[in-house]
Amino acid sequence: MNFSDELIDRIKQKKSCICLGLDPDIDHSNFPTFLKSKHDDNLAIIREFTLSLIDELAEDIVIIKPNLKFYEALGIEHYLNELTQHAHKKDLLVIIDSKGNDILTSMEMHYKAMFNNYNADAITINAYMGEDVISPFDKYLEKGKGLFILVKTSNPSSNDFQDLFSVKLNVDEKLERISAFEVSEKILKRNYIRMAQLVNLWSKRSKGKHNYSSIGAVVGANVPSIIVRNLRMLMQDSFFLMPGYGAQQGLLDSIDSAIKEDKLGAIINSSRGIMYAWNQRFKGKFKDEEYLKAAKEEIKIMKKEINF
C-alpha cells in the first residue's frame, strides 16, 4: 500500500496529525530521574521510557519519529527494530529521522539499513547533494515506503545556506564563464525554493488513491507562515513533516498554512515538548513518575491548538 494512503487512513481514523518524536537523552535535565534509578543499563532505561510513551499515546497519535543519532549515541541503534515492531503492533507508522546524505552507492546501503534492518515506514533525508541521494529509493517506493526531504528546517542556523539565493546554470555553462552582470540577469531563487521544486518533481514518482505522494518535505513548524504558504503552493501533493512545535516554538499560523481544508497535508511533530511535558509546560504540576500523564495532557493541548 502507498505510504501516503497508510498515513491518511490513520489521520482520518484517529482525527489526529500528531507525530511523537522519540529522541531520548538520559542526561537531559528533564529526563525522568526515577527511570535511571530503576534500571542499571541504558537500553532498559530507554526501552521503558519509549515503549511506555507509545502505549500511553497510541490512540491520539498517528506516527512516531525516533531520531537515529540519539540511539547511536547510546550504542543501542539495534533497539530501533524492536521499537518499530512495537509501534506497528499499536497501529502506528514509523519515520526514522536519519537525515541520510551521501553518494548513490552509500545511500543504497543507508536505505537498506533503515528499511530492511529497522523496518521503518519512512525516513528523512538531506538531498542537497542532488538526485544521487534519492535515486536508490525507487525500489523501496514500490514497496510502500515513504521519504521526507529536508527543505526548510527548524534549526536556528538553517538560513546559513537554505535562505541563500542561487542561480541554475544551463548544462553547457561553466561557472567561471558567468560574470556578476550575467548572473544578475538570471533568475535568483532561495535554495529552499529550489529544493521544494525538486521535491515537487520527485514526488511525481508515486501518488496514492488520495492524490498525495509518498515523497514529502521537512518544513519547520517555526518557519514564518508566508514561507510555508509559498512552499505549500510549490509542493501541493506532498505531506509536510513539521518539527519544532514544542521546544522550538512552532507557529500555529505556519501549521495552519500547511494543513489543507481537508485536514490533510501535514504531520506535526513534537519531541521534547511531549516527552518532557511533566517538567516543561506542566512544571510543578506533575512529578517525573507522572511523565505519561503529562504527555497525555500535552497531546490534548496540541490537538486543540492545531484544530484537530
Residue 181 has pLDDT above 50, yes or no: no
Q: pLDDT tens digits for 258-283?
A: 999 889 999 999 999 999 999 989 99
Predicted TM-score (pTM) of this structure: 0.93
Task: Please tell me the predicted confidence (pLDDT) of residue 9.
Answer: 97
Residue 168 has pLDDT above 80, yes or no: no
Task: Please tell me the predicted confidence (pLDDT) of residue 266.
Answer: 97
* Three state DSSP letters for the chain: CCHHHHHHHHHHHHCCCEEEEECCCCCCCCCCHHHHHHCCCHHHHHHHHHHHHHHHHCCCCCEEEEEHHHHHHCCCCCHHHHHHHHHHHCCCEEEEEEEECCCHHHHHHHHHHHHHHCCCCEEEECCCCCHHHCHHHHHHHCCCCEEEEEEECCCHHHHHCCCCEECCCCCCCCHHHCCHHHHHHCCCEEHHHHHHHHHHHHHHHCECCCCCECEEEEECCCCCHHHHHHHHHHCCCCCEEECCCCCCCCCHHHHHHHCCCCCCCEEEEECHHHHCHHHCCCECCECHHHHHHHHHHHHHHHHHHCCC
Residue 118's CB is within 10 A of a number of other CB atoms, namely 23
80 touches 23 (CB < 8 A):
no
115 touches 188 (CB < 8 A):
no
Band the pLDDT of 211: cuts 50, 70, 90. Answer: very high
CATH number of 3-305: 3.20.20.70
User: Residues of the chain with pLDDT > 70: what percent?
Assistant: 92
Task: Please tell me the predicted confidence (pLDDT) of residue 250.
Answer: 61
Q: pLDDT tens digits for 126-164?
A: 999 999 999 999 999 999 999 999 999 988 898 888 988
- Is 99 designated active site? yes
Q: pLDDT tens digits for 222-254?
A: 999 999 999 999 999 999 999 988 655 567 899
Residue 16 has pLDDT above 70, yes or no: yes
Q: pLDDT tens digits for 65-120?
A: 999 999 999 999 999 999 999 999 999 999 999 999 999 999 999 999 999 999 99
Task: Please tell me the predicted confidence (pLDDT) of residue 243.
Answer: 94
Q: Which residue has the higher pLDDT, 183 or 199?
A: 199
Domains of the chain, residue spans: 3-305
Task: Please tell me the predicted confidence (pLDDT) of residue 307.
Answer: 77
Active-site residue (options: 36, 90, 99, 296): 99
Q: For residues 113 and 184, what is the distance between their CA atoms, to the nearest angstrom?
A: 44
The dihedrals phi and psi of 268, each to the nearest 5 degrees, come to -105, 120
